[in-house]
Chain A
Amino acid sequence: MLSFTLKRLVYVTPVALGVSIVCFLLVHLAPGDPLSAILPVDATQQMIDEMRAIYGFDKPLPVQYALWLWRVLHGDLGTSIATGRPVADEVGRAVVNSLILAVVATLIGFTLGTFFGFVAGYFRNSILDRVASAVSVFGVSVPHYWLGMVMVIVFSATLGWLPPTGAGPDGSGNWRPDLEHLRYMVLPALTLSVIPMGVIARTVRALVGDILSQDFVGALRAKGLSDAGVFRHVVKNAAPTALAIMGLQLGYLLGGSILVETVFAWPGTGFLLNAAIFQRDLPLLQGSILVLAMFFVALNLVVDVVQTALDPRIERT
């Protein structure tokens, strides 16, 4: 197990380096001038050149990359052009906010997804299966920013039950898991949870169907095991895959919720990325993408290790 973990760690290194190159190049390939965020539109060429030199954009790209990577390896993600604040601070705060939201959304999605998946898988081709499958297809297909807006219209603007934007009454700085702060989380978390719910439900449905058709289930029943006992075996066999999907979904939610976080003005990584993209804030963009990508890489590693712990056959393959 230890050697497997170490081996996976070694594999991670080239992936991380590749990720750093891709995220550095991607933001430089995008059109627009990073300095436009801080210079007035009628700034003179002399001022533009001076600012370019101050931020190091006058150097060749490979040199810029090398300098950036060196700083990153020392834990310095640079300084945001638009705000002048350290990128590490900005991203750190945003990651925590996104993580809170993503974990809650994933848990909701996982709970509902496994429930609908098991129901659909257990009662295949019944009306229950059709209803549960419809819910999961809806979850996978619905544009979640649209769903977010509809929920805001219904629950905030019309009924006035829940706040539509922000992370708390005084911002996210004093976030606490109390009722007042949880009210702010309900709508974005529910909106975000529909995708993992749909994905997990469809996967679990297929898994359960597959497991139920295997010989060992018949053997278990022939040995007189109760339905609950068989169910336990099915769960155990389905768990590694469902868990892997959940891990990946958590990663997707962490980095892929730009639209939902913007709709709800949730101060997480998506909101930050949105601002960074529109302001062409290259250091912030690079730092955010790098942290999210590394989080994804680490999550994959953890999922692999946990999966192996649950199902030792994986280590042998």
Chain B
Amino acid sequence: MTRLSLRLGLAACLSLAASVASAQGTLRIGMTASDIPLTTGQTDNGGEGQRFLGYTVYDALINWDLSSATKPSELSPGLATSWAVDASDKTKWTFKIRDGVKFHDGSDFTAEAAVWNLDKLLKNGSPQYDPRQSAQGRSRIPAVASYRALDRATLEITTKSPDATLPYQIAWIMMSSPAQWEKVGKSWDAFAKTPSGTGPWKLTLFAPRERAEMVPNAAYWDKARVPKLDKLVLVPLPEANARVAALRSGQVDWIEAPAPDAVASLKGAGFSIVTNVYPHNWTWHLSRVEGSPWNDVRVRKAANLAIDREGMKELLSGLMIPAEGFFPTGHQWFGHPTFKLAYDPAAAKKLLAEAGYGPNKPLTTKVLISASGSGQMQPLPMNEFVQQNLADVGIRIEFEVVEWNTLINIWRAGAKDPSARGATAINFTYFIQDPFTGLIRHLQCNLAPPNGTNWGYYCDPAMDKLFDEARNAFDPSEQTKVLQKIHEKYVDDALFLMVTHDVNPRALSPKVKGFVQAQNWFQDFSPITMAK
């Protein structure tokens, strides 16, 4: 009895010591989503879903390196340690699978598991096919034609045509555990409650629309990224004021996207507002359909020179980065464009005069905007600001305001569709994190609707040639050079009205320590600790 008591006492002391050593607190985050994002692997709720329920619980074959706040994020090995394209057949890629990685349920991650996960998204007849995850994931990997496991540690993916952007596409695809799916009765609904991935966090509580809780995966394969916190709690708080109130009252320690008008008071109350540049832009996508005034490069340049971006920054309490291109400056694909997006109304008026417009013949056109929407920042005051700037140089804009989901549908349908109501531009913000979403999809000739989202029907063989070069540049540094050339053409030809970049603001309690805000839509919660 005494020996048993001693043993129990010793065990208690050891576990207490262990818990003190690892006790780094609980981080509670107020998200903007109105529900806990999909927990089965391929998340919904856009970038926020992938940030909180994607790269936390799961890994992709290729991950993003989220460790730096000072340089743009790059791809890094995830569940694949390396990947390469076949030298003789540029459509064949092999991925070497990381050895010894286990899912949270204890089963092994293998090349077969990767195939199973691709089937989950792409093979309608497979038992594990999940329409919900497929809806989220399939459009992320348009290049994939087929795939197979060559052996337990080698995956082969064949693309429809040579495509050097495949690694960026693969970084979207989260790997769920086939064994866990079997164990819970081959049901994705059951899997959602007890999901199993390979990621640094394990989901321990899932209360739909209210709360998700995660604890560290101590056996995570990347020891440097084993979380230091005891627990991560996610709370959906879609209402901006409710988020601020929850932070100020100590109910949460971190909120996403505080409203600009709350920033000063939050700072005054001792909270820190963290921001960073990331691949997002706020533009007017211009129509190049016949008859559009934006077909004249002088008009496009004039509009870009008419925008007082510093004035707009003031309007947004500093929460924006004035655009100098389609990508933010400092991005590896920015290059060296010669056209400077300065505020120069006189030059703008001169260009417009050269294009045949002036006080006696003002340029009048219609633009589609929304009153709100994911990533749209503050669309109404910002668009009114742009409208005023353009009016000052002689471009009269009439707005067609539509609801956000309607705007998405018009954007998909294209500028020629009757739903565009004759508008010659659409205010649309873009996720521009990889070559396809950032550059190719907007302007490639054969991606005009209904084949893609080249809304404005832009078509320039020279640009298409550059896109082809980017797709065939399998050496990363060579690819970067081509992407820089593409971006230079974006800016020098003033292909968009480039206004601003969001800065992904977050408000943090002073207790939150160690957060490194990566220049990315996704973030790493592993290094964070909570001060007492």
Q: Give chain A's interface residues, CB within 8 Å of chain B.
A: 31-33, 36-45, 47, 51, 54, 82-85, 90, 149, 152-153, 156-157, 160, 163-167, 170-173, 262-265, 267, 271-272, 274-275, 278-280
Contact = CB atoms under 8 A, between A and B. Distances in A.
B239 A164 contact: no
A39 B242 CA distance: 27
A83 to B, nearest CB: 6
Interface string B194-208: 000000000001011
Nearest to B211: A171
Contacts of B406: 31-32
B396 interface: no
A85 to B, nearest CB: 6
Q: Which 9 A-B pairs have the closest CB atoms?
A: A171-B210, A32-B405, A275-B34, A157-B248, A164-B245, A156-B249, A171-B207, A152-B245, A171-B211
Contact of A36 (B209, B408, B437): B408
B504 to A, nearest CB: 18
B409 A33 contact: yes
A31 B34 CA distance: 20
A295 B188 CA distance: 32
A45 B207 contact: no
B450 A45 contact: yes
Interface string B215-248: 0000000000000000000011111011011101
A160 B250 contact: yes
Contacts of B205: 170
Interface in B463-486: none
A301 B248 CA distance: 45
Nearest to A51: B135
B251 A164 contact: yes
B41 to A, nearest CB: 13
A274 B207 contact: no
A37 B188 CA distance: 19
Contact of A38 (B136, B189, B192): B136
A152 to B, nearest CB: 4
Contacts of B411: 41
B238 A165 contact: no
16 contacts: A31-B406, A32-B406, A36-B405, A41-B411, A42-B453, A43-B135, A44-B451, A44-B452, A84-B189, A153-B245, A157-B248, A166-B251, A172-B207, A265-B242, A274-B238, A275-B35
Contacts of B311: none
A160 B35 contact: no
A170 B233 CA distance: 10
Interface string B117-141: 0000000000000011001101110
Interface of B: 34-35, 38, 44, 46, 131-132, 135-136, 138-140, 188-189, 192, 205, 207-211, 235-239, 241-242, 244-246, 248-251, 403, 405-406, 408-409, 411-412, 437, 441, 450-453
B189 A40 contact: no
B34 A274 contact: yes
Given A40-B140, A51-B131, A267 B209 contact: yes
B34 A54 contact: no
A88 to B, nearest CB: 13
B174 to A, nearest CB: 14
Tell which of A265, A267, A279 has the most Cβ of chain B within 10 Å.
A265
A153 B131 CA distance: 43
Nearest to B172: A40
Contacts of B189: 84-85
Contact of A41 (B246, B250, B408): B408
Contact of B239 (A41, A44, A156, A265): A265
Contacts of A164: 242, 245-246, 249, 251
A153 B207 CA distance: 27
Contacts of B451: 44
Nearest to B437: A42
A136 B189 CA distance: 48
Given A40-B135, A164-B249, 18 more contacts: A32-B406, A36-B405, A42-B452, A47-B139, A54-B131, A82-B35, A84-B38, A84-B132, A149-B245, A152-B242, A156-B245, A156-B248, A156-B251, A165-B237, A171-B210, A173-B210, A265-B242, A279-B34
A36 B409 contact: yes
Contact of A173 (B35, B207, B251, B450): B207
A304 B453 CA distance: 57
Nearest to A170: B211
B238 A262 contact: yes
